[in-house]
Structure 1
């Protein structure tokens, strides 16, 4: 049993193990990465012992019992992929905050000092974690010479406060050499740099896709400055998987909904905003624009502390309500996505067609049989509540009874 396992006894308590990748430097990106990445490994208290044991096995077999660190792998991309494949099924998720220092330098006034920059990052990361989990245990590496960790420790100690009377929080600094989950945070942070740092990404072979391996472990990734425009229109013109006009209208509708509802306290709307942001995240990266299964979206909500709901409620109160608010979401047997091509729009239309037309057909058969039995004296579709259905079945009958010209 690890030293942090006994802090709280509840199985719903969450442990967030933090580490970072990158530095403060804003002037010379040939030495410093343009990205500053903070990762929190999220583990339920009931899974800590298993996580620790499995990670220790990986340390023994793949790191000769030394630390699981991204720098111990460096540019050996096959080795990194192999190790990530081993950890992808472990019971954890991660939250990441990725700051692009190039954009911050030109657009924001938070770079005047290292302390100001770190304070800004600390506020964003701490608020994200604190607002999501009522029973939160934050574990970071020993202070040592790590300035960011020192600033984060100072920030948490100065700003920690419960959101409700039932909240619990614990903050502890430990030695990463003996805390495997912090080493995992280091590995994930370093891997994200090979996904989002343009220069490092160029060195990864085309047949290795780190994001594909770890995507199911993502609870949330926040970018600062938040922008989905950077790679939104990277597709070559004429690609069958891309239509610029569709991409633009789908993107605008989604962003507009998020902007209008980001501060809503309504639980259903908060779910809608979260799911739409999840879809937008996948939409941003063209190489990973694929349909997302309902189970993955629902699992992501649970990882972000939303109460569990049924698939029927998810379809009606999340996806359905988003569509009611003019958000364009394509669906198929493979799941949901924000469409970027005519094919994906047609997938949605085919899906609706396969559901609605058979239902209208069956309703029409039912109504005709009842009318026949009643000698055409009663038409249940004449009732006030069914005016729309009356018109639909009338149009349907006109179509199927119309002779071919």
Structure 2
């Protein structure tokens, strides 16, 4: 079956707060989960689906729109609505992310939180439908959807074989987006600690026949590391596992420390591991992104010099493998990453040694060979290299 004529109506449930002790905006508790729902169908079925939804809307929401929060905790009413809603010919794709696990993985910077979600939703959706049109409601700035649309454009539109496109509608206009909202709110009542109900099983049972896929993160059944294709710079599983193991050894060893720079090392390394395992084992992360992350955790900015000398350097001294290039930092996952690090270091070391050599020769000549600045015991290693 060709997926070229498929369309997905997308909505979200939850907020981007990561501090679960606080109440969010307007006294709303910070959700423990973030849920994305896409209702997918061939374009030819839209008219039929909308007829079903319009009947549901008139019957249960009179003049209003189909909305999960309107039904709230009236579970009996929710079940009746679901039974009729599910007569429409769509399938449900759902992504359920436990945000508490994100925080324990070291993800406290909201910019990164959405970035992670965008990558996850995009990967899972486009795995099933390589050419998908999407429709979502415009809800103002700084929402998951706004960034997701940018992400999809950057990731897919550049690829000419891909015809995915994204449209915005006013939430009031699209019955399909309203239905996505209703189902996302229903799934929240099955998983989110702030609204979970003892009716969760009956909701899941109702939705089950229409569930194309429900993806949980973290997924306990997923393999330990990000799957990468063999052509991606010859991904080396042994090296990748070693990188993660050495990083985790450091994190467990230094966990209780209260020293600010050790906490910053912890923040930086947790983020590198998290990114490596769950987002992209091949991407370098810029100093700026990691420094923003440290700033979000400690509440104040740190300088690039501090970051290089008090965070990255001590991690390497402690035996953690961190590759670097002009693009930033990462845990190494391939031989290419290792050479990136050595090459990068070499561009710094070689010119310095050459300067020391010139300096030494000038002094020697000026003192008729009597003064050798590298004569001291402390400089024996540099002397060996220069000689």
What is the TM-score when the length of structure 1 is the normalising length?
Answer: 0.51
In the other structure, the counterpart of 2:165 is 170
Query: SS in structure 1 opposite 2:52?
Result: helix
Contact 1:51-1:91 within 8 A present in 2 as well: yes
CA contact (8 A) 1:14 1:137 kept: yes
Gaps of 5+ in 2: 24-28, 231-387
Q: 1:160 to 1:263 in 2, by over 3 A?
A: closer
The question of whether the paired residues in 2 share the 8 Å contact of 1:131 and 1:163 is answered with no
Deviation of residue 65 (structure 1)?
A: 2.9
Question: 1:177 & 1:143 partners in 2: Cα distance?
Answer: 11
Distance 2:93 2:77 in 1: 23
Helix, strand or coil at the partner of 1:37: strand
Q: CA RMSD in A?
A: 2.6
* Aligned match of 1:123: 119
Shift of 1:200: 2.6
CA 1:159–1:205 in structure 2 vs 1: closer, same or farther (change >3 Å)? closer
Partner of 2:347: none
Q: Does the CA-based 8 Å contact 1:141-1:174 persist in structure 2?
A: yes
Matching of residue 219 in structure 1 with residue 212 in structure 2: yes
What SS is found at the alignment partner of 1:178? coil
Paired residues, what number?
223
Alignment of 1:133-144 (within 5 A): 133-144=129-140
Q: Distance in 1 between matches of 2:130 and 2:98?
A: 30
User: How far off its partner does 1:134 sit?
Assistant: 3.3
Partner in structure 2 of residue 183 of structure 1: 178
Following superposition, the deviation at residue 97 of structure 1 comes to 1.2
The answer for the alignment partner of 2:192 in structure 1 is 197
SS class of match (1:40): strand
Change in 2 beyond 3 A, CA 1:42/1:78: same
Shift of 1:144: 2.0
2:164 alignment partner, SS class: strand
Deviations 1:203-230 (A, max 9, x none): 4358x710010101111111111126xx
CA contact (8 A) 1:88 1:216 kept: no
Q: Is the 8 A contact 1:11 1:45 kept in 2?
A: no
Structure 1 residues without counterparts, runs of 5 or longer: 1-9, 229-254, 266-405
Which of 1, 6, 12 pairs up with 1:14? 6
Are the structure 2 counterparts of residues 115 and 11 from structure 1 closer, same or farther at C-alpha, using a change threshold of 3 Å?
Answer: closer
Indicate if the aligned counterparts of 2:157 and 2:163 stay in contact, CA closer than 8 A: no
Provide the rounded CA distance (Å) in 1 between the counterparts of 2:45 and 2:4. Answer: 10
Aligned to 1:101: 99
**Structure of higher CA gyration radius:** 2
CA distance in 2, matches of 1:260, 1:104: 16
Q: Please show how residues 361-380 of structure 1 align to structure 2 within 5 Å.
A: none
Mapped to 2, the partners of 1:126 and 1:199 lie a distance apart of 27
The whole-number CA distance in structure 2 between the counterparts of 1:88 and 1:74 is 19
- Tell me by how many angstroms 1:162 deviates: 6.6
Aligned match of 2:107: 110
Cα displacement string for residues 5-56 of structure 1 (whole angstroms, at most 9, x for unaligned residues): xxxxx88511111110001111135611100111111111111111111111
Q: Secondary structure at the match of 1:200?
A: coil
